A = this chain, B = another copy of it.
């Protein structure tokens, strides 16, 4: 039995009942068993005690859209038209990846995510067993899915789908339950309708949720209309996609009818503001989505289009850009942006019963922020400070499932020096190959 008793801390709980608690939190094994202003009674026995002075504790951040292996391509191509970036830069490099490259790319991403306070992430890519092993080792929590592109022969389509199903079956609930799996057609424009229907059927068969890129660019929406006579939301709905719990990434170009349909179907969104801005995809209609009751979470997308995996950056962007673009300074208030990175993230991956909130009974996935720094003074509204002035660099400690995985900025379960060196070597090999 492991017990941790944090005293004298500030807790931004994301719990509507008691949003900010100055006091105590007790963790037993993988769960929070107490949080409150008063000291726990009776005193927890044989507990490790931590003085929370100068620290702010909050739920670990949840990144609902990533492609970890692509961290090797950070900075390899920027400020290019989308097709140049994708076809001339990303795809040729990705085509050269070996398992080893994927391992180091994934490890680099895990390191960056953990150190910047992300405790749970969603990842869609290939070579997923390699990532699953990195998740297992690093202590991270992940929702992993082998994304499939269907622009290939029926045999290849079937092989990819079988690989995705196999991975999903084999790894669901592994790593002490920290790994969950999904199925993922890559996008409506890269998967023919009948292939999407087969993937939806497989999701029903395995009782899994679905993840997909949707309506990232205006061009892709127009192509959908040209090819299928409908916009992507209606198209996917007709294919039965939303009959499964669904998380769609991007969702930048939506009309009112699509937003209403997504709300009716309970579709969750992974809003990726940095990537959408950097690739010039546009600005998602987040205030309208939130007003319609759609769950909006945050994703970094890959380090090749962001170019970092710091969810604090996405939180701040989500709080800033929708005000500026809408002309309404009350759009996406600080607390709402913070919810997008925590409690709405948990909801978007159907784990709101155990993640995203510091509350008795929830999983002990939480982070400690060093607030004894000038940009957090004067210590007034700490939620505002986290959103408008916080950064992943302010994260000092991280716990997942009650286990400390980052201590004073150091990943306890990963070899940082080796990962940095091998990532560099992998990248140089990819360049030279």
Contact = CB atoms under 8 A, between A and B. Distances in A.
Interface of A: 71-72, 74-76, 78-82, 85, 108, 111-112, 115-116, 218, 274, 276-283, 303, 306-310, 313, 316-317, 319-321, 323-331, 333-334, 372, 374-375, 377-382, 384-385, 388-389, 391, 393-394, 416, 419-420, 423-424, 426-428
Contact of A424 (B78, B79, B303, B378): B378
Given A277-B321, A282-B324, A374-B111, A384 B329 contact: no
Given A310-B375, A378-B423, A416-B374, A388 B78 contact: yes
A266 B71 CA distance: 42
B330 A80 contact: yes
Copies of this chain, complex-wide, total 2
Nearest to A321: B277
A115 B374 contact: yes
Contacts of A313: 316
A301 to B, nearest CB: 12
27 contacts: A72-B378, A74-B378, A74-B384, A75-B382, A78-B333, A78-B334, A79-B334, A81-B329, A108-B377, A112-B374, A280-B323, A280-B327, A283-B324, A283-B325, A307-B389, A308-B388, A308-B389, A310-B375, A372-B420, A374-B416, A374-B419, A377-B420, A377-B423, A378-B423, A380-B427, A391-B393, A393-B393
A167 B341 CA distance: 47
Given A82-B329, A307-B385, A307-B389, 16 more contacts: A74-B375, A74-B377, A75-B384, A75-B389, A78-B384, A81-B329, A81-B330, A112-B374, A277-B321, A277-B323, A278-B329, A280-B326, A280-B329, A310-B375, A321-B324, A377-B424
A283 B72 CA distance: 33
Contact of A75 (B324, B333, B381, B416): B381
A161 to B, nearest CB: 33
Nearest to A372: B420
A324 B280 contact: yes
B327 A282 contact: yes
Query: Which of A72, A81, A420 is packed against the most chain B CB atoms within 10 Å?
Result: A420
Nearest to A335: B79
B320 A278 contact: yes
State the 9 A-B residue pairs at the shortest beta-carbon distance, nearest first.
A277-B324, A393-B393, A378-B427, A307-B388, A280-B329, A277-B320, A75-B384, A112-B374, A308-B389
A381 B329 contact: no
